[in-house]
Structure 1
């Protein structure tokens, strides 16, 4: 990676809405007083390179004293005796008093401390950050990845645990950055006064995150504009654990759905119904830009001081939704108002490709109105996998020969997608960018910061006994993940096929969104198709958002005939883990007599040949250690964060992926499994973490 000259860096800083700070002789700073109350959202750093870092803070007017310009101070020691950079940035209400400064000309693989100072001498807290190793340095890398923090429904104590464990490590084993895979905020706010007893899904709503305006839909509130989104970010960043984490490590972030709209796609917001929301999409992008330091770009010559919001109107997306949505001019301006897909290099071993899986996706096909007949009679949270594959592929299915009718529930239903284009998650422009970067990467390991997962979570619903049949006659497999890549299998197969054809190896997807821990390999198809994995994948549990298992405890009644597939016993143990890894027969057998050996004897090996691990009840974080020969990924699972106490881990599970050569298949090996929750959550692990024997 060639060093950039000052002109290039100034242009880059302007594109990302930051001021440039360049090394120069720096005199000792005048004495100041740290006043964290003047910087209520703390400090942060983002997107480190080998010679630069983006620094952030917010300094609103407080106690009648308004600041108009901030100076950042960067030093090689925490006492700031050896300052190396000082630069200033004007702030005002138009940018909600946030400040972004790109600091350049730094040394590679180095620790730096930074703080902000206003013209009144008030100092922010001190933050710590790191630069990346140079691109030719084969330096081992250690980082964490997280997703889905919801401080309205709980706490962010996952970060408290992460910080405590990091401090206990030797310096050379400590984390160097945090990859945040989205749902940094939740735009759906539940106020305690709107809920019976102030409770939702067994949790007390905290109620401290509020919007100045908002719109109430049912029992929740959603934003109306940029000031509502800003209020949510401000409240989240006042959380002490989130603030401490952002001060300790640089963050590398992408967004997911809740930074805009719960089930939204492109510029369509989906709550009680789908709504044209181009103005809201732009507002969401603006707030993310203002509060998340990232090397993102705006179209054209951007104002270096702030986000430039394009003029848009809320115009419905007419016509077949997958054929014309992207061409509507207001939609185009809204979804292109901020480009967040980008890549980050960390030495010779690690190349991180970050994608936007929400702004350019077509409507999730299983949610379309025309898919309603295929939703009838399905078990809770599941969708018929073959039906989703046919609908997603549209007219391209079976080499351009889609069926005129689709059989579901014993009925032949006309294929509503037979003349439609295939769905897309990334959009054509971003997909070309991603594949070009992937094929051209010279790093040992290619990591995909994917926000949504590629590995399918499925059950063999066709093996349900007749006595437990739902209103539909089920056959084959059903998947839970129609909002992630399971709902876009055509493009998933295209990407995996391109990687295989190019001889890409050591390709690893890191994902979130699912509120579950998963480890496995990714294949374009599973049984009854060919299982041919191309990449490895690790999915991290949520920081705080309720899991599928928690939701099922309230959505699937005790007397529901299929409840044993989801939860079992007085303590509602997550049997869903067994269902999606071993099959419905194993879960039903365990519910009948509690005999684990008998249950394992009935496991179906075709359900999940791709999964090494799945916990649909998992909260916590994951760490990655990268070497030339292998990567080790550790899942640290903690209890549901309903208090602000430092959580004791429920389990630790570590998997290894050994480097593989082009043409070879990736594999995921479990190294360690330990913790008190193992026996209750996993059929094939005893309390010590040892695997149980199986007979097929």
Structure 2
């Protein structure tokens, strides 16, 4: 890494460290003629003594696109109350142009297991107030955790009414499991859209920044970010549909440049720690990580995109991975193929082993991007982009769960724009006549707005063909809400009446329970 890039990375890391200063040292700066905080505020990555605060400064929309020059000094406050009468910490952070004038403030020294309020200031402009919290101490066994999980929010496919209702459900933490943006342009002549935009296909850093700005302009999404901390991972549409590691539908060098731009924009718009930036080129970003909620839950957040092998039997340059007949694609069975990459597989195996060995974790949560359980189609086709396309990798994870036997294992996913509830079973041994053991529970959630692209009749046929699938519905959009206690995990599948209606009502499509020490969901 050359000196310029090393300095850039060091500056970005320093900008993330909370610098405190007395109120009298503040300079309010000039009066602004616009709202620089139009993308809202967010927080994430909570620990027992800290959290990350985020915002991004935008120029005056009436000014030239490059009106913001040089770094900006942004002030922030953290308080016990929404009126900011009981200030806990305050300080300043630099918003660097090289990072799109985004701000990532990493707070430390906070009290465990409590809520806080925060805001940012630039000149005479004050941001919306956000609410965030720390996690319980590692040794604590809290009575409850309310966890929301969501994914897939294509702008034009529907409104974000789901986020409005999620705020009312008051979760402690939101897990966003991928496809925060969609890179596509709207095809001319498209009909049946909830709303439209005129952005071109995202290819450059400016393109991706504009795409995040579009999505984050939604008031309901801003409110959900301001309501509680988030932990985010990506899937494919943050860069390009069905990409795999350093390969996509473009030639290699063009795709890597596009991917790195997408990854940088992801960092710029998410409440991530500076340590996730592994280099200034953004040719790698540390997305897989762990988050502990005391002894109640240990969340293992995975990255299914950065390290995977190219999809089996997919031709170079094609735009979609598609599906194959296993008999026509021997590559599917290659034991070396991985969805997570060797290093991440070992990391996850070690984490599950620690959960089991220490006997202090009630719920081991594997939060990843897509459906983990097999989805065998009646036609015999097999998807190559999901875990079905990496059967040896899935078998290794099943063996890890079986070998270490954490107290309770729950997998969360998204991507498929459908609600699936499954018993996670060990691979059956042919000829034994013994039913496979249930090792874990799986909840794969529907989308916030993206269409499912299928019919309920087809989904019903798939469910009949896969007895481990307990529930499968494709017709409604929404999110999952998990109420977790030491003795029980309850998932409510929250679905909108109509995602095309910005004021849509919501209901619970189904509710499933997992009892402590008993793998497999049961309809409540």
TM-score normalised by the chain length of structure 2: 0.87
- Counterpart of 2:182 in structure 1 is 186
Does structure 1 conserve the Cα–Cα contact (< 8 Å) formed by 2:326 and 2:332? no
- Counterpart of 2:413 in structure 1 is 511
From the superposition, tell whether residues 386 and 623 of structure 1 become closer, same or farther in structure 2 (CA, over 3 Å): farther
Distance, in Å, in 1 between the alignment partners of 2:281 and 2:160 is 31
- Counterpart of 1:587 in structure 2 is none
Task: For structure 2, list consecutive stretches of 5 or more residues without a partner in the other structure.
Answer: 1-8
- Counterpart of 2:127 in structure 1 is 124
2:273 equivalent among 295, 299, 309 = 295
- Counterpart of 1:579 in structure 2 is 461
- What is the aligned residue count? 499
- Counterpart of 1:602 in structure 2 is none
- Counterpart of 2:193 in structure 1 is 204
Task: For structure 1, list consecutive stretches of 5 or more residues without a partner in the other structure.
Answer: 1-11, 167-173, 211-220, 303-307, 311-333, 376-380, 397-421, 462-476, 550-565, 567-573, 583-606, 672-696
Does structure 2 conserve the Cα–Cα contact (< 8 Å) formed by 1:296 and 1:338? no
From the superposition, tell whether residues 386 and 506 of structure 1 become closer, same or farther in structure 2 (CA, over 3 Å): farther
Over the residues paired in the alignment, what is the CA RMSD in angstroms?
Answer: 3.0
* DSSP-derived class of the 2:309 partner: coil
- Deviation (angstroms), 1:576: 1.8
- 1:659 correspondence with 2:516: yes
Does structure 1 conserve the Cα–Cα contact (< 8 Å) formed by 2:48 and 2:137? yes
From the superposition, tell whether residues 59 and 344 of structure 1 become closer, same or farther in structure 2 (CA, over 3 Å): same
- 1:113 correspondence with 2:114: no
Distance, in Å, in 2 between the alignment partners of 1:114 and 1:267 is 38
Greater relative contact order (Cα 8 A, min sep 6): structure 1 or 2?
2
Does structure 2 conserve the Cα–Cα contact (< 8 Å) formed by 1:15 and 1:297? no
Matches within 5 A, 1:208-357: 208=197, 210=199, 221-270=200-249, 277-295=255-273, 297-298=275-276, 308-309=280-281, 334=283, 337-357=284-304
- Deviation (angstroms), 1:527: 9.1
Does structure 2 conserve the Cα–Cα contact (< 8 Å) formed by 1:180 and 1:254? yes
Structure 1 runs of 4+ aligned residues shifted over 4 Å read 12-18, 22-36, 63-67, 273-276, 385-388, 526-530
Matches within 5 A, 1:496-575: 496-525=398-427, 531-549=436-454, 566=455, 574-575=456-457
1:642 equivalent among 492, 500, 523 = 500
Distance, in Å, in 2 between the alignment partners of 1:612 and 1:36 is 52
Does structure 1 conserve the Cα–Cα contact (< 8 Å) formed by 2:104 and 2:272? no
- Counterpart of 1:413 in structure 2 is none
Does structure 2 conserve the Cα–Cα contact (< 8 Å) formed by 1:35 and 1:123? no
Q: Deviations over 1:159-190 (max 9, x none)?
A: 112223x2xxxxxxx41011000000001121
* DSSP-derived class of the 1:129 partner: strand
* DSSP-derived class of the 1:281 partner: helix
1:433 equivalent among 331, 336, 347 = 347
Bigger radius of gyration: 1
From the superposition, tell whether residues 208 and 71 of structure 1 become closer, same or farther in structure 2 (CA, over 3 Å): same
- Deviation (angstroms), 1:135: 1.1
Distance, in Å, in 1 between the alignment partners of 2:101 and 2:198 is 19
- Counterpart of 1:404 in structure 2 is none
- Deviation (angstroms), 1:577: 2.9
Q: Deviations over 1:338-364 (max 9, x none)?
A: 111111111111110111100111111
2:521 equivalent among 663, 668, 671 = 668
From the superposition, tell whether residues 526 and 612 of structure 1 become closer, same or farther in structure 2 (CA, over 3 Å): farther
- Counterpart of 2:165 in structure 1 is 161
- Deviation (angstroms), 1:226: 0.7
